[in-house]
Amino acid sequence: MKRLLLISCSDTKRTDDGHLPAIERYDGPKFRVLRAARDDGRRVPRIIILSSLYGFIDPKHPVQFYDKAMDEGTLAVLMKDHRNNAQIRKAMENAEDIFCMAGGLYVQAFERLMPAGKVWTQAQGAPGVRLMMLKQWLRRESVRAAA
């Protein structure tokens, strides 16, 4: 089954100099959950991260430390990147199981690109509840990667 995780960047970031892969730079609870699943040898689904600075990126994308919040202007600029947005929409179309770990303007961006009629799950509730939903989704149909 083709699974896709849509996730927003994190306010909490490692402050190391230079560039780090996005999955390492972002250090909020949801990224700690992702790294724990990966480090436990689980096969992690495809991940698309929405960064307020870099736009839609994959977990390996090099990210330097920054402090920029998503705002309406940034969202408008991101929505004009038609080539990149077409790639994101195609990933959404091809996915059979989509989970969104985002809120506010970030989820609005994902909603705007989601193909009509596509069923997807958005984490909701208190922060701890959303993290539990992410953990459960990652465990579902998760198998250990081949050694």
**% residues pLDDT > 90 (the chain):** 84
Output the pTM of the full model: 0.91
Any idea where the domains of the chain sit in the sequence?
Answer: 3-139
Name the β-bridge partners of 55.
51
Summarize the confidence of residues 70-98 as an average pLDDT.
92
Q: Residue 147: is its pLDDT beyond 90?
A: no
Q: Please tell me what DSSP assigns to residue 54.
A: T
Cβ–Cβ < 8 Å for 121, 100: yes
Q: Is the pLDDT of residue 121 over 80?
A: yes
Is 126 a residue whose pLDDT tops 80? yes
Q: 3-state DSSP call for residue 18?
A: coil
* pLDDT for res 43: 82
Cβ within 8 Å of residue 106, ≥6 positions away: 8, 50, 70
pLDDT tens for each residue of 32-75: 999 999 998 888 899 999 999 999 999 999 999 999 999 999 99
